[in-house]
Structure 1
């Protein structure tokens, strides 16, 4: 796949690897967000992709935040336009049919952390630094950080992190539920890739439906969420993938799913 200037996309089997490449700390400028948007669109058109890994180049940072230089000239109108663009792109990533696993090293601050929590699963190195320091700049997290963070770690912990701007180590982020796996320094990408390969080996339609059930169900009352789950289950019954999965189980072999 053709590389962008600040976003690189590689494919490896059923995996797509999206790399933030804006050295030295991968600041999320307007350009890189636009390129990320285009990369998400391109990956969605690749039928063989079953999992996405989002990582960053360099060792200093996954992404150290948004471009602070743009803030002083913002008006109320342009401020809304700025955050709405980021929300739209991050929402598109979150709504992707395939799971997105984020590998975090170094700094994941502000918009960088908001990007990470728009992903499905986060693998973080133990010495990383994560936080939403926006209130120290007189603003608040505007790329859905206040909303997604509270859904991940609970309202009280989200308030503590957002209102104080305190930074967490990778280990601390794992302990509060902000990351799903913590690994030694230098190990985030390989651990994310190992997990992505496990996901890619499962039935892709089943994975997509399961992701939808979790994402949409959490916003619904339990009874309605269970109805959604039943509906999505019913759409898998009788598929070729289900037949293959059951057959492979009986034959004690690995299934070969076609995504049908």
Structure 2
């Protein structure tokens, strides 16, 4: 478990789903240094436990993560702010490069750094009451944990600029319409739906999912020819694995596959 009690990690032995929860509901799960360090430890522990899917969530009924801790940031010097930014980037990168799918369970407010952590996840599921925004401009700053780079890769450039320039807060349905989240679920069904999605992902062939994630991530970072070369390498490298043999045999035998 992470050393701080502000972050909890639960790994379900039967499904391989790990749930990493920011547990600071009295502060709307705001991200201070202890929380960020706890998230880093939690992600590393989930990887060490060979989790097949990771769910990122926030405790309580009001917020996923309402943002960075403003009371902590207020009087930071430039070098201190740089260190804080680097820590936030480290956590986002750990989520982005986690070797299995990461699902952001966005229930309630996801502002500033909370939105940025969700952007670093593979999939985003929002509750009907969720509201998402890059609200840093209201504080006299800009997104500092990847928002200016990941957001326009996910939504249109116009939407990203409006969110960053104006601090626009998007209700869940609007966030879905612009592609910021993949789906919106009724509040009362949210937890069950996220659990079902995570279990479905965890039941997929593990090595193939990891390869797919690596290739998809490169689509935002490499020229087309480099990404295609990586795809060829990953695709061919899966041949000879148990899951490839089993998946194709099951298809030919008209039965459900039994992946490792």
Do these two structures clear the TM 0.5 threshold for a shared fold by scoring above it?
A: yes
Q: Is the 8 A contact 1:55 1:189 kept in 2?
A: no
CA drift at 1:29:
1.2
CA drift at 1:70:
2.1
Q: Does 1:148 align with 2:150?
A: yes
The 3-state SS of whatever aligns with 2:210 is helix
CA drift at 1:184:
1.2
CA drift at 1:119:
0.7
Aligned equivalents of 2:71 and 2:2: distance in 1? 29
**Greater mean alpha carbon deviation, residues 153-162 or residues 188-197:** 188-197
Give ranges in structure 1 of 5+ residues lacking alignment.
none
Q: Is the 8 A contact 2:105 2:126 kept in 1?
A: yes
Q: Does 1:41 align with 2:52?
A: no
Which consecutive segments of 4 or more residues in structure 1 shift more than 6 A? none
Q: Is the 8 A contact 1:9 1:19 kept in 2?
A: yes
Aligned equivalents of 1:106 and 1:186: distance in 2? 13
Aligned equivalents of 1:139 and 1:39: distance in 2? 28
Aligned to 1:246: 248
Aligned equivalents of 2:149 and 2:124: distance in 1? 17
Aligned to 2:85: 83
Q: Is the 8 A contact 1:217 1:228 kept in 2?
A: no
Aligned match for 2:171, one of 169, 172, 190: 169
Give ranges in structure 2 of 5+ residues lacking alignment.
none
**What TM-score comes out, normalization by structure 2 length?**
0.94
Distance change in 2, residues 1:147/1:2 (3 Å): closer
**What TM-score comes out, normalization by structure 1 length?**
0.94
CA drift at 1:163:
0.3
Superposition map of 1:122-161 within 5 A: 122-161=124-163
Distance change in 2, residues 1:31/1:2 (3 Å): closer
The C-alpha deviation readout for 1:233-252, integer Å capped at 9, x for no partner, is: 01101212100111222233
Aligned equivalents of 2:2 and 2:110: distance in 1? 26
